[in-house]
Every structure is written in C-alpha cells, then in structure tokens.
C-alpha cells in the first residue's frame, strides 16, 4: 500500500539543450522586461558583458560582484544598482554564486529572474536562499526566490574545468541523497533523486576522462537539473546543515565542502534510513551508499579532506557545536560526539564509518 504523501510542484520554465542560450533575448522579451541587470562573478565579468550585449537594448547594467556564500554586503551593493538603474528583471549566467545573488535580489524585490547555469550546482531550481552575515550562513525559503526561467545550455558547461565539474556534480548528488530520506519525501521526488544520482555517477567519470564529451556533459547537466529539483521540493537534513556551517563560518569552498562531507553524513544517517541507502547504492552501482560516494569522489580526484580546503583542526569542535544549534530535521537524532567524530574523519579525509 502506498504511504500518504504531499507533493508540491514548483512553477518554473525550463529550456534544456545545446545552444539554448540564444533564446535568452526572446525570454527577456517574453517576460516584458525592459531594464535587465546582468549578474556575474568578477572572474566571469567578460561573459556577463557578452550576455548584456546579446540581450541588447533591454540590458541596463552589469554587476560583476557575485561571490560564494552570498554575503549580505555584496547583495546590498547590487541592490543599490537595482534602484539607481530602475531594474525590472535579473539575468544570471554562471554558477551557484551568481545564482545566489540573483535570488537574494529577487527576495528583496520580487523581480523576475532568468538563470543560465554554467555548473551543476542545481540551486537554480530551488526557492531556497543561503545568505551569509557576520560569518553565519542562514537559509530561507520563499516563492520570490525561485527563478522564473532556467536555460540549460550544454555548451556553457563544455569549458568547465574537470576539477570543478567533479565537485559541482558531487554537490548536486548531495541534494538527491538527502531528498531520499527527507522528512517530507515523496515518491515523485524520490524517482528524480535516484535518476539524478545515476545520471551524474555515470557521467562524471566520463567527463574526467574526456572533458569535451558532449553526451556526458548533457547527461551531467540533466542529472544536475533533477537533483536541484529535489533540493527545491523537500527539506534538507544534517549534510546541508554541516556544509552551511562550514561554508559560512570557515569560508570553505561550497562544492568542495559538500564533496568532502557527503560520504560521512550519509554514513551517519545510514542506520536510520535503510531504504534510502539501498536506493543510493543502487544508483551508484555499488553495495554501500556511503562508501560508494567516497569512492566516486576519490575516482574523480576530488579533495576529500577538509583540512586541505582550509579548515583548522580546532574548528572541528566549533563546527560540532554549531551543527547542534538550530538543527535541521534529520532521520537519525543528532548526537554531538558522533557529529564531532564525523567531522574529524572528514577533516582528515578518511573513509566514512557508520
């Protein structure tokens, strides 16, 4: 007998394919936008300005200040430009940092967003925003945050370096892993989660071997879309709480931190979520979910030690305390010492242990 569930589908227009960014001017016009702000990171400013040129006269300004963890002070600078230029819409072409800034502006203004991802972050499919203020990262959820249009263009990912492709893909997998044991999980999202994990687990090693493999890139982007949809539809648990804590408080790189922590958070929850673990292991083609995630990341050459990412050893205790404060729901009750041990293994890059 099917268990009772609630499924809330989020409204979004998704355009998927190769060369689809060419549809951006049409989408801007379709939404009736006349003064668009194009967002980018400092490193992608050239791309941001090229995007503005492609939009033409409807592009009013470019803000190339997006950065990871969406600091509030950066959002305030972008907001000043929004007001000064009478902006009526946002276009973001980039990774999670650029998407995060677009969502932060939208939360404050309810302006429509068009997002074209260049990584596998998946945040473009969620009504969730994580912002950092005074070294603390907090998340919130609102319909205002969800982009109106997402343009997936495989061509935008062809130049994504292998190292970033790997950790970005592992970050996406983390969304699907937690969706399978989320408190508000449902069979529709679980189907997407398993398919997203499978697609990425098969595509990422091929990308590592042949970065220009267009089919592998397409499969990875497809998987990232599914995993992002999972993150937007159901709640997060211990893994995301830990990564938000580590990112906001220690300024660790976002995708790399997700990659290092995921096997350990999965192992922590394994005893309390056996069905989810079987589904994850099956999608990975392995016998053990946590070890399968660790082995996949290792095969991709990803950094698996938080100490290599810049975390100090004394931060283990601090992070454990922060994880216990304002915790997310989790299938296994939170035990401070067990979480401390989890973090210690992730700090050292050791294999996961239940």
198-249, pLDDT tens digit by residue?
999 999 999 999 999 999 999 999 999 999 999 989 999 999 999 989 988 8
**Residue 6: inside a domain, yes or no?**
no
CB 147 within 8 A of CB 103: yes
> Both 218 and 344 in a single domain?
yes
> Both 108 and 183 in a single domain?
no
Domain boundary among 142, 157, 172: 157
Q: What is the domain-level CATH number for residue 266?
A: 1.20.1090.10
Q: Which of 64, 7, 73 is nearest to 41 (CA)?
A: 64
> Both 150 and 229 in a single domain?
no
**Residue 32: inside a domain, yes or no?**
yes
> Both 183 and 69 in a single domain?
no
> Both 17 and 50 in a single domain?
yes
Q: What is the domain-level CATH number for residue 136?
A: 3.40.50.1970
> Both 168 and 148 in a single domain?
no
The confidence score (pLDDT) of residue 1 equals 67
Tens digit of pLDDT for each residue in 99-152? 999 999 999 999 999 999 999 988 899 998 989 998 888 888 899 999 999 999
- Number of folded domains that form the chain: 2
Q: What is the mean pLDDT of the chain?
A: 95
Q: Measure Cα distances from 295 to 181, 208, 277 in Å.
A: 21, 14, 15
> Both 81 and 136 in a single domain?
yes
CB 253 within 8 A of CB 193: no
Containing structural domain, residue 241: 162-348
**Residue 134: inside a domain, yes or no?**
yes
133 vs 262: CA distance, rounded Å: 25
């Amino acid at each position: 007998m099917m268990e009772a569930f609630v499924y809330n589908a989020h409204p979004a227009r998704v355009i998927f394919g190769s060369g689809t960014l060419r549809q951006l001017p049409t989408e801007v016009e379709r939404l009736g936008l006349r003064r668009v702000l194009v967002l980018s990171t400092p490193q992608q400013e050239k791309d941001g300005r090229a995007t503005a040129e492609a939009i033409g006269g409807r592009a009013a300004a470019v803000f190339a200040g997006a950065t990871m963890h969406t600091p509030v002070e950066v959002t305030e600078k972008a907001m000043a430009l929004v007001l000064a230029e009478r902006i009526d819409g946002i276009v973001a072409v980039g990774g999670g940092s650029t998407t995060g800034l677009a969502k932060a502006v939208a939360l404050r203004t309810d302006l429509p967003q068009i997002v074209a991802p260049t990584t596998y972050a998946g945040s473009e499919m969620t009504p969730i925003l994580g912002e950092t203020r005074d070294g603390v990262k907090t998340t919130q959820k609102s319909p205002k945050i969800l982009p109106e249009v997402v343009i997936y263009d495989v061509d935008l990912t062809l130049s994504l370096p292998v190292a970033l492709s790997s950790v970005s893909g592992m970050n996406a997998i983390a969304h699907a892993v937690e969706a399978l044991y989320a408190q508000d999980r449902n069979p529709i999202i679980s189907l997407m989660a398993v398919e997203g994990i499978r697609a990425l687990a098969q595509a990422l090693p091929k990308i590592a071997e042949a970065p220009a493999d267009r089919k592998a890139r397409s499969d990875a982007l497809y998987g990232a879309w599914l995993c992002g949809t999972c993150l937007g539809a159901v709640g997060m648990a211990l893994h995301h709480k830990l990564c938000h804590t580590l990112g906001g408080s220690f300024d660790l790189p976002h995708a790399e931190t997700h990659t290092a922590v995921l096997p350990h958070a999965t192992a922590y929850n394994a005893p309390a979520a056996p069905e989810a673990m079987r589904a994850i292991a099956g999608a990975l083609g392995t016998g053990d979910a946590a070890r399968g995630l660790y082995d996949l990341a290792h095969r991709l050459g990803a950094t698996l030690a938080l100490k290599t990412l810049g975390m100090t050893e004394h931060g283990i205790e601090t992070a454990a305390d922060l994880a216990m404060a304002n915790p997310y729901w989790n299938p296994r009750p939170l035990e401070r010492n067990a979480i401390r041990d989890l973090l210690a293994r992730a700090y050292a890059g050791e294999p996961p242990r239940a």
